[in-house]
Every structure is written in C-alpha cells, then in structure tokens.
C-alpha cells in the first residue's frame, strides 16, 4: 500500500486544531516506510522539537505516531511509537495487551518537517530485525496518532475506532494488509 489513508479522531477526544491526519505505508523488501501528515493549526499543538533519535517509553502520553504490525495467522504483534522529537519505542505482545516486552529492534530513521499549517513525519523501519515481521510474512497493520494540543488535551486518531474509549490494540483497527515482497 502506498496510498494515503485518513486517520479518524475518536469521537470522545476531538481536537479542533487538527483538520486532517493522513498516513501511508510502503513495504519494500525488509524496509517499511511510513509517513504521517497533520493538517491544521500546527501552532495550537504540542509537538516536541527535533532532538537526537533515541529509545524512550511512554511516548503515548504526548504527541506521537503509532504503527501496529501483526503477521498473518499470529496473535502476537508489535507496537511502534514515533515522537516528533525523534524518540521512539517498540513493544512486542503475545496477544492483545498481554505478554508485553521491549524487543531488540533496529533504531528507525525518523525525519520531520512542518510549517504553520502542516507537519509531516517520515519513518523507515527495518523489518529484518523482527523475525515475525520480516521475510515472506503478510502483515496486518493498524496506524494511529496521539495528538496533544496546547492545553495538554490528548486526541486519538486511528483507521477505525470500535469502542467507547480509544484502543489502538483492538484487532479491528489492524485494517491494512501488506503482502509479502
């Protein structure tokens, strides 16, 4: 998939400063290329300034973009978080929200740029360091974003929402299918 998809704001967490969030995925051999684009009043958002890329937990407490990846026929899946600061995190779950661990994965490449009306992040993620995701596996993906506004309020954006509260771990949100290369 290389087409852009729109992420949808969870109805319980609107953000008036954001008009649209688009995302895209492209799988090329052992590399997954992701892009996220926010359109709106960027000055009304809390987007941390770029810094050196480093691994850090709890990124979902502020603005970050997320990708959830599961290989065909498996219950286990990976969660990746990418912050505008360059911070990132990776987790592996045995099943929905259970058996979480911090796997040894290759540091992603993260590039950001923006202006008054848009912000874009591009990420390159090496799949070969995660045996379940690399190789010939067909992947199911869910994309999301947590956006913090200037008042500190969080809004949650995903391909779909199926519950009264936002839940990016819901298997129903893994709406994109990426065929093996």
How does residue 157 score in pLDDT terms, banded at 50, 70 and 90? very high
Cα distances from 106 to residues 64, 125, 153, 162, 164, in angstroms, run: 19, 8, 32, 32, 35
How does residue 138 score in pLDDT terms, banded at 50, 70 and 90? confident
- In this predicted structure, the answer to whether residue 30 has a pLDDT above a threshold of 60 is yes
> What is the rounded average pLDDT of the residues 74-97?
90
CA distance 37 to 112: 10
- Model pTM greater than 0.75? yes
Q: Look over the chain and give the mean of its residue pLDDT values, rounded to a whole number.
A: 90
Burial class (CB in 10 A: 0-12, 13-18, 19+), 132: middle
Closest CA to 142 of 178, 115, 110: 178
CA distance 110 to 88: 9
- In this predicted structure, the answer to whether residue 58 has a pLDDT above a threshold of 70 is yes
Sketch out the chain's domains with CATH numbers: 5-70+77-178 (2.60.40.1190)
CA distance 62 to 56: 12
- In this predicted structure, the answer to whether residue 2 has a pLDDT above a threshold of 90 is no
Show the tokens assigned to 116: 């008054």
> What is the rounded average pLDDT of the residues 15-36?
94
């Amino acid at each position: 998939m290389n087409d852009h998809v729109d992420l949808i704001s969870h109805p319980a967490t609107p953000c008036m400063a954001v008009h649209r969030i688009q995302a895209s995925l492209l799988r090329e051999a052992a590399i997954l290329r992701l892009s996220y684009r926010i359109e709106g009043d960027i000055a009304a958002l809390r987007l941390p300034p770029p810094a050196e890329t480093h691994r850090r937990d709890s990124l979902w407490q502020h603005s970050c973009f997320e990708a959830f990846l599961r290989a065909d026929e498996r219950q286990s899946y990976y969660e990746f978080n990418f912050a505008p600061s360059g911070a990132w995190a990776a987790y592996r779950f045995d099943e929905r929200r259970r058996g979480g661990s911090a796997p040894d994965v290759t540091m992603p490449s993260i590039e950001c740029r923006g202006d008054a009306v848009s912000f874009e992040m591009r990420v390159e993620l090496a799949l070969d360091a995660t045996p379940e995701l690399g190789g010939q596996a067909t992947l199911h993906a869910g994309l999301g974003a947590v956006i913090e506004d200037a008042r500190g309020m969080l809004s949650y954006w995903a391909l779909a929402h199926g519950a009264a509260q936002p839940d990016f771990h819901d298997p129903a949100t893994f709406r994109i299918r990426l065929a093996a290369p």
